[in-house]
Amino acid sequence: MKREAREPTPDRELTPEEIQASIELKQAEAKKMLAEAALAQNDALKKAAETREANAKADVALIALREKEREEVVDVAGHTEWLAADARHHIYQFGGTVDGGSVKTCMKQLAVWNRSEPGCAIEIVFHSPGGSVIDGMALFDYILGLRAKGHHITTTGLGYAASMAGILLQAGDVRRMGREAYILIHEVSNSTSGKIGEIEDDVKFMKMVQARVLAIFAERSNLSKKQIQSRWSRKDWWIDSDTALKLGLVDEIA
């Protein structure tokens, strides 16, 4: 056992054993203080680590929150765009040349609306220089078929609905035209080459097609076939919106 150190008194000096006991006591107290300091330091380091971990989690949570907010903004914008999309409102923008590809694309979209929403109202907006009369007539008949199935079709001309596009404009239940838009009407054209007999056959066919075009314009306007022929014979006939409305080639000016 360790001996308890005795405090020196004025009339007595400490013995070697008492001095040794006092030293050992102070050393024990110093070790205790060091141990307590080390424990406190460990606690401080632990708390610092916990603080860093908490801060890191907070940073991750903040990044996740900002990402979610960004996604929500994108979702809102995307949803708004979807709500306003032409396809959702059954509006088809027909721009460019009338040919096999453009007609096929248009008919494909019209078929989707016809099958998914039978009888829905549809608008086809033409901004076109025209093109193939045969491909165009296929679309013309397709539009008439949709009308027969109960779809209300509005055809609109913006910029210009020229040549075959002007004919397609006549396919709608309601035909509209932009204030600054134009319709171009002219005789049916074709690039023909070959033997005389082949050329004659092509001319005969084109005259047949032209007769149908004349019938379409005459049926949908205030003009007779002779009036149309006299105005488009060997020249282009450009018609502004006011004149088109007056002649009955459109029902409304947008």
DSSP 98: B
From 103, 237, 247, select the one nearest 175 (Cα to Cα).
Answer: 247
3 has a pLDDT exceeding 60: no
DSSP 125: E
Residue with tokens 């040549």: 163
- Residue 198: CB atoms within 10 Å: 11
Cβ contacts of 6 within 8 Å, gap of 6 or more: 14, 18
From 98, 174, 108, select the one nearest 137 (Cα to Cα).
Answer: 98
Q: What are the φ and ψ backbone dihedral angles of 150, each rounded to 5 degrees?
A: 105, 0
User: What is the per-residue pLDDT across 137-161, written as a single tens digit (0 to 9) for each?
Assistant: 999 999 999 999 999 999 999 999 9
Cβ contacts of 140 within 8 Å, gap of 6 or more: 167, 168, 171, 216
From 138, 134, 244, 128, select the one nearest 189 (Cα to Cα).
Answer: 134
User: What is the per-residue pLDDT across 25-45, written as a single tens digit (0 to 9) for each?
Assistant: 788 887 888 788 888 888 878
- pLDDT value of residue 49: 80
Name the pLDDT band for 74 (thresholds 50, 70, 90): low
How big is the chain, counted in residues? Answer: 254
Longest Cα–Cα distance of the chain, Å, equals 154
Residue with tokens 């397609």: 168
Domain chopping of the chain, boundaries: 13-84, 90-253
Helix (H, G, I), strand (E, B) or coil at 165: helix
Asked: is 90-253 a CATH 3.40.50.620 domain? The reply is: no
